Amino acid sequence: MLARMMRNVGLIFCGTVLGGLVLADPSHSPAHVALWPTIPFVRGQDLCQYQDAYGRTRSQQSSDMARLLGELIHAGAAPKQAPELLQTLDSLIDQGRQRSTGGFGMDVLLEGSFKAALDRVYEQHHPQVRKVSFFNPTALSELVRVLRAQQRQGSLEAKQVEGLNGMAWGTYSFSPACQGDVLVTLHLETQLGHSFNYQARGMPESVMGHIAFQVFSQFQKTHFPSQVTYLGKNLELLGAPGHVLGTTNSPRKAQFACDRMQARLPTVGEYVYLNELGHWNGGVRSDKGLWALSQERVMAPEMPNPSMVRSIKEFQSPEIRYFCVRQAIEKK
């Protein structure tokens, strides 16, 4: 089983680690993720049939069965024939379900839908650097040979296995709604022991779109601590103590928190620049609400006239957001 899973391994991580999803834990998110072209999906319990069998009590099932028998007899079936007719109908329903879910087509559909959905997300947001891509070590001639044989890429060379530091696989099951939708979970685990799980429910052709956006957000969104280049120098984004973004009612409290981190509050120019970068390019969206500045001031982007820089005295019990920054130490 282990050898089979390694042949069908779903994910390879490449690159150095920069920042984490959890503040002050920089080991959670790689700088770049290269996906192995084959992502195996294992079928789990059919929740539709499970719900059908156990979603009602035995007395409720008996009552439904008695009602159906009565309807058949009322329609003209002989009492001895009615149970056989019910059993035949039940068998026909099971045969139809088995035909529709048999074979190995669902895993291919989910894999292909995930790739297409991930590309659509990148087309919609256009980040400067794509952090999730697909890794294909084989020559195009070998890829053509595999596709002509109607096979899927799955074998790994020994040298490629040596560079493997993470893998992903999926599970799917038919949802209890019994309306054709599936429940899909994509599992991801790194060599360092960090696990990520993404789950969505919907029709087979669209459910992977929700998971693709979750993966995109996980690895593309700004993770603190991180660095950007501003006015030719490296600016380090640290977040707030215990949080990615801090919330307070006083710029003085925000400044005090940043001081304890040996950092400072961003300037107006830095807020504006990071907002233009956005979540997907290493920045922070700050175009709404109030943002803390030094000297008991706040930045109010939604109040640009006469100036979006305001005194805190203009607001009563405000909710002020902030994060801390500092100039990164240049390595010699």
Residue 225's CB is within 10 A of a number of other CB atoms, namely: 19
Residue 131's CB is within 10 A of a number of other CB atoms, namely: 20
As a whole number of angstroms, the distance between CA 297 and CA 309 comes to 7
Output the pLDDT for position 2. 35
For residue 46 the two structure tokens come to 């059919």
Give 241's DSSP letter: T
Output the pLDDT for position 3. 38
pLDDT-derived band at 237, boundaries 50, 70, 90: very high
Q: What is the mean pLDDT of the chain?
A: 76
Closest among 129, 141, 100 to 32, alpha carbons compared: 129
As a whole number of angstroms, the distance between CA 171 and CA 190 comes to 18
Mean pLDDT, residues 61-83:
65
As a whole number of angstroms, the distance between CA 64 and CA 139 comes to 60
For residue 191 the two structure tokens come to 């060599």
Question: Higher confidence at residue 309 or residue 143?
Answer: 309
Output the pLDDT for position 117. 94
Enumerate the domain spans of the chain: 2-44+104-220, 226-327
pLDDT in tens, 263-281: 999 999 999 999 999 989 9
Name the β-bridge partners of 309. 299
Closest among 284, 294, 290, 296 to 319, alpha carbons compared: 290
Tell me the fold of 226-327: Mannose-Binding Protein A; Chain A (3.10.100)
Name the β-bridge partners of 200. 184
pLDDT in tens, 198-235: 999 988 888 999 999 999 998 899 988 889 999 999 99
Mean pLDDT, residues 76-96:
61
As a whole number of angstroms, the distance between CA 188 and CA 115 comes to 16
As a whole number of angstroms, the distance between CA 303 and CA 318 comes to 14
How many angstroms separate the first and last alpha carbons of the chain? Answer: 49
Amino acid of residue 116 = A
Q: Which CATH class is domain 2-44+104-220?
A: alpha beta
Pairing mode, strands 182-190 and 195-202: antiparallel
Output the pLDDT for position 188. 78
Give the lowest-confidence range in 80-84, 209-213, 259-263: 80-84
Rg of the chain taking only CA atoms, in angstroms: 28
Question: Higher confidence at residue 63 or residue 277?
Answer: 277
Closest among 232, 252, 239, 329 to 292, alpha carbons compared: 252
On the question of pLDDT at 18 being above 60, the answer is no
